[in-house]
Amino acid sequence: MGHIQTALGRIGYIEKGSGDETPILFLHGVGSDKSVWRPQLDHFGRSRRSIAFDYPGYGESEFVDGETREDFAAAILAAMDSLEIDRAHICGLSLGGVIAIAMHSVAPERCASLIIADSFAVHPDGQGIHDRSVAASQAMTMRELAEARSGLLLGSEATDALKSEVVDTMTAIDPAAYRLGAAAVWLADQRDRAARIDVPTLVLVGNEDQITPASLSEDLHRLITGSDLLVIDKAGHLANAEQPQAFNSAIESFLSQQR
């Protein structure tokens, strides 16, 4: 793990791999950090430059009060600048998918493709989830919140080790950063932005996702002209960590068409 100084502050990142293939970037969810992408970094790092980032206030990134989803997108673009990455495949899960759409909106030329997992353009209960998340983060410790939420996050085949990792990772999040992340994801309405996406796009979702169910990915797929949709069996909201082989294979197949 490490961090890099950017024009917008310190950003945490993990990097693996090298080569001439277009790099792939990974963006985490609201209750996570860059470490959730280890199965993908290990896999894709064998063939290309692969980087997972922390948002401002998460992991090893610098906290900036009042950050929005637009600021998160700008921070990742600034990190790309600092790492001398002009263009990349952008893979985001949940909040990461929301940020990927925001990045394409402001800098489509930096996005070789989008991979949007367990996410949405707009959530029908977004305001309610946001309000409950904020209230819980104020009434509980982050560990208590993580333990209460882990059952909803994970599907039927999640291991005890993964459950413990999810709880430990969420416990480490600054509550103030978590609340900024909650606003960035749950209050998003990017239907217009999604409809303007003009790069190859893969939409992924776990068939047991209770937080952003498959119907929301189907809506997103319909909004994005020419996008592909794939449902991952026996996966909940953290499909990349629960079913990494299926998740990685879906992306490999998608990227093989982008050469």
Mind listing the pLDDT tens digit for each residue in 42-57?
999 999 999 999 999 9
pLDDT at residue 1 in the model: 67
| Burial degree of 114 (CB within 10 A; 0-12, 13-18, 19+) | buried
- Which residue segment(s) compose the domain that 149 sits in? 2-256
The contacts found for 79-82 with CB under 8 angstroms, 24 or more apart, are: 79/4, 79/6, 79/11, 79/13, 79/53, 80/25, 80/110, 81/6, 81/7, 82/4, 82/5, 82/6, 82/7, 82/11
If one counts the domains in the chain, the total is 1
Is this model's pTM higher than 0.95 or not? yes
Mind listing the pLDDT tens digit for each residue in 185-231?
999 999 999 999 999 999 999 999 999 999 999 999 999 999 999 99
Residue linked to tokens 């303007």? 196
Q: What is the CATH number of the domain that holds 209?
A: 3.40.50.1820
